[in-house]
């Protein structure tokens, strides 16, 4: 009978150690789950903030881009109707001149391209969702399609292999 009680004491003593191990594993699992959830939430918040910032920067440029396309249309119309400078001559004067001579509308085209490159960078890093990227990419391609100057900037930057653009960013305009 004493052996029986010794066995029971050994089991009880061992169980106390197992309780500590089980509690430690359970606590570790809860901490891991909490940390993982917090990381996901922080990542989603960072994506949301980035989305807001990028959209705000685009909103600032949008009016200038609209003005650029309007100017291109008027220039092309005046060239056809009145024999004035066509877009190629204006391109040579504006885009090949010193940057200090360029208007805000012209520099907005460069700023827009830089913004697009940044959006592409964040997309590649996983901070921009696929659906958002598809919409933004379509918008980028539309601006390039309708803006003579922006299209020529892209061609020029591809030729120059501009180091400040992501490796394959400018290729999205060829797709």
Q: What is the pLDDT of residue 101?
A: 46
Q: What is the pLDDT of residue 14?
A: 66
Q: State the maximum Cα–Cα separation within the chain, in Å, rounded to a whole number.
A: 118
Q: Is residue 72 within 8 Å of residue 149, measured between CB atoms?
A: yes
Which pair of tokens denotes residue 53? 């910032």
Q: Is residue 23 part of a domain?
A: no
Q: Is residue 89 part of a domain?
A: yes
Tokens 């705000």 locate to: 56
Q: Is residue 58 within 8 Å of residue 132, measured between CB atoms?
A: no
Q: Is residue 30 part of a domain?
A: no
Q: Is residue 27 part of a domain?
A: no
CA distance 145 to 151: 7
Q: Is residue 21 part of a domain?
A: no
| pLDDT > 90: percent of the chain | 29
Q: Is residue 8 part of a domain?
A: no
Confidence of residue 149 (pLDDT cuts 50, 70, 90): confident
If one counts the domains in the chain, the total is 1
Q: What is the pLDDT of residue 97?
A: 61
Q: Is residue 29 part of a domain?
A: no
Q: Which domain holds residue 117?
A: 41-173
């Amino acid at each position: 009978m004493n052996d029986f009680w010794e066995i029971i004491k050994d089991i009880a003593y061992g169980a106390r150690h197992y309780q500590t191990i089980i509690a430690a594993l359970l606590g570790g699992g809860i901490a891991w789950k909490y940390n993982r959830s917090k990381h996901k939430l922080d990542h989603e918040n960072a994506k949301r903030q980035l989305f807001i910032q990028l959209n705000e920067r685009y909103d600032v440029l949008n009016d200038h881009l609209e003005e650029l396309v309007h100017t291109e249309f008027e220039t092309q119309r005046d060239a056809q109707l009145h024999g004035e400078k066509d877009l190629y001559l204006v391109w040579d004067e504006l885009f090949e001149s010193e940057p200090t001579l360029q208007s805000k509308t012209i520099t907005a085209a460069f700023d827009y391209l830089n913004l697009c490159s940044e959006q592409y960078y964040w997309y590649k890093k996983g901070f921009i969702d696929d659906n958002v990227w598809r919409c933004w990419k379509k918008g980028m391609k539309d601006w390039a399609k309708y803006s003579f100057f922006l299209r020529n900037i892209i061609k020029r930057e591809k030729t120059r292999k501009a180091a400040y653009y992501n490796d394959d960013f400018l290729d999205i305009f060829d797709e």
